[in-house]
Amino acid sequence: MNQRVMRSQISLCLLVLCAVLSLSARSQDAQLQITYPISNSTVPGPVIELKGVGADPSGTIEVEVLTDEWYVQTGTARINPDGSWTYAPCNLKGEGRFNNHTIRVTIIKGGKRGESTSITGVVRQS
């Protein structure tokens, strides 16, 4: 084999390796997260908009809120092509000893529950 062909093959192998590493890094960065609100925070009222990253744009988002029990929310999610997302409205209606919420977000794709994440200690101002 001549040197020119070998260099081309090595260059091609390096390009493929870089592409694989890049895709691997992106998939690790794409972990589902709730970015607003954050755990152990106070929100301004009983109805909020959730924000996050790492959602699969071809899936849907299910949101549940725990006060005294789990309540499935009926809001609407918007998932952007980059995986960032918003969901509204999310209702935090617990009062008194139940004004301490856990919010769980789950990706639904192809009728199956996928990745899930949650935050805890969210309190609404009275």
As a whole number, mean pLDDT of residues 63-85 equals: 96
Reported CATH class of domain 31-124: mainly beta
Give per-residue pLDDT as tens, 30-72.
Answer: 799 999 999 999 999 999 999 999 999 999 999 999 999 999 9
DSSP 8-class letter at 71: E
CB atoms within 10 A of CB 102: 15
**Gap between the Cα atoms of 53 and 35, Å rounded:** 7
List Cα–Cα distances, 124 to 46, 58, 65, 111, in angstroms.
6, 32, 13, 33
In this prediction, residue 96 carries a pLDDT of 78
- Using the predicted structure, report yes or no on whether residue 24 has a pLDDT greater than 70: no
In this prediction, residue 56 carries a pLDDT of 96
Identify the band that residue 25 occupies on the pLDDT scale cut at 50, 70 and 90: very low
**Gap between the Cα atoms of 13 and 4, Å rounded:** 14
DSSP 8-class letter at 55: -
Helices (H), the chain: 3-29
